[in-house]
Amino acid sequence: MANPSLLILAGDGIGPEVMAEVKKIIAWFGTRRGVTFDVSEDLVGGCAFDKYGTPLHDDTMAMAQAVDAVLLGAVGGPKYDKLDFSLKPERGLLRLRKEMDLYSNLRPAQCFDALADFSSLKKEVVAGLDIVIVRELTSGVYFGEPRGIFTEGNERVGINTQRYTESEIARVARSAFELARRRANKVCSMEKANVMESGILWREVVQEIHDKEYPDVDLSHMYADNGAMQLVRWPKQFDVIVTDNLFGDVLSDCAAMLTGSLGMLPSASLGAPMANGRPKALYEPVHGSAPDIAGQGKANPIACILSFAMALRYSFNMGDDATRVEKAVEKVLADGVRTADLMGPEGGKPVSTSQMGDAVIAALDASL
């Protein structure tokens, strides 16, 4: 059987620094677990613009379409701020998401016990939290037509259109139900069916897909405004939340911050199943290129490492190894190893990006 294939696009700023630690883990799987990944590498974002004059070369796009999974670091930086919109580093990432049709965005909010004090909420509300928000990523109000700023009479009017087809709702609902079956088997669907027709259709389609295809999953519905309140009040009531693009944008940022540092948050964007039955997929940390700390060895690589763990679980059917990586991260944090972003008011000496990666490798060794 062919080796699992991975395209690494480390990108700009701290992207290559955090990705270097993931590469150590990929090598560890080769030597210690006998799993060899066919890894290719290329450029995305500002570095791709510098070399190719475009934030994503067509050849890179073709490579992304051909592999089992893409792992991305981060893109962007002040050097590129003045570029034309079409050439900005972020356009490379958006092109990947669009052309791979990655409609299902998974954003876990997991609170490691050792970091529970970092949340702005009380420790007992967040300790042990483990939920995933599934956000529809390629449709809804960010894409619907008509859109624009028009003149009506003697004033301007700004228009965006919330639009969802049945099939767009159905496919992201399936993605959430599939995910729930691998977890605590609970899905809460969030919309505003009380005031939006698109919300009424959303609720109906999610219920239909549930009744026909996933009757074993525990499904509930909630208005998204109540959902925001419940996320802050008692987030542990949820397992998987599925919602549209706009509500998902807001709710996933809210849920993510329950857990503390931006340097801890992984994500996956999944599309339709490929010939091997696994979804098209791009994995990336939620954070950006952090120009303020780039090149200083200060970046926390855990978000990128946990993104690779998601790839193991969702693209490579290696759930046990994904858990092994997550447990290694948990152990390192419990041992008090901290990059600068995780230092509490009590202070102490932070470790560097590469020391954090080495600590995770040591914990992986200890897990065998």
Least distance between ligand NAD and beta carbon 289 (Å) = 4
Least distance between ligand NAD and beta carbon 287 (Å) = 3
Active-site annotation holder among 42, 103, 192, 283:
192
Active-site annotation holder among 38, 50, 117, 225:
225
Tell me if residue 253 is catalytic. yes
Q: Choose between 199 and 285: whose C-beta lies nearer to ligand NAD.
A: 285
| Dihedral sign from CA coordinates of 240, 242, 245, 250 | negative
Q: How far apart are CA 270 and CA 177, in angstroms?
A: 14
Determine contact, residues 128/109, Cβ cutoff 8 Å. Answer: no
Q: Choose between 293 and 322: whose C-beta lies nearer to ligand NAD.
A: 293
Helices (H), 74-114: 89-99
Q: How far apart are CA 258 and CA 263, in angstroms?
A: 13
Least distance between ligand NAD and beta carbon 77 (Å) = 5
Q: How far is CA 12 from the centre of its chain?
A: 18
Short-list 48, 38, 37, 39, CA closest to 15:
48
**Beta-carbon count within 10 A of 178 CB:** 18
Tell me if residue 117 is catalytic. no
Q: Which spans of this chain sit near ligand NAD (rule: CB under 6 A)? A: 14, 18, 74-77, 90, 93, 262-263, 284, 287-293, 299-300, 303, 341
Tell me if residue 103 is catalytic. no
Residue 195 DSSP symbol:
T
Q: Choose between 217 and 303: whose C-beta lies nearer to ligand NAD.
A: 303
Structure-token pair, residue 361: 């490798």
Determine contact, residues 62/42, Cβ cutoff 8 Å. Answer: no
Least distance between ligand NAD and beta carbon 176 (Å) = 22
Tell me if residue 52 is catalytic. no
Active-site annotation holder among 59, 117, 253, 365:
253
Q: How far apart are CA 304 and CA 313, in angstroms?
A: 14
Q: Choose between 67 and 286: whose C-beta lies nearer to ligand NAD.
A: 286
Q: Choose between 295 and 319: whose C-beta lies nearer to ligand NAD.
A: 295
Active-site annotation holder among 68, 239, 244, 249:
249
Structure-token pair, residue 253: 């940022």
SS3 category, 150: strand
> Environment class of residue 274 by beta-carbon count within 10 Å: exposed (0-12), middle (13-18) or buried (19+)?
middle
Active-site annotation holder among 142, 223, 236, 327:
142
Short-list 10, 1, 3, CA closest to 308:
10
Least distance between ligand NAD and beta carbon 149 (Å) = 23
Q: Which residue has the tokens 């998987």?
A: 240
Q: Choose between 30 and 295: whose C-beta lies nearer to ligand NAD.
A: 295
Least distance between ligand NAD and beta carbon 122 (Å) = 24
Q: How far apart are CA 13 and CA 144, in angstroms?
A: 33
Point out the residues that are catalytic: 142, 192, 225, 249, 253
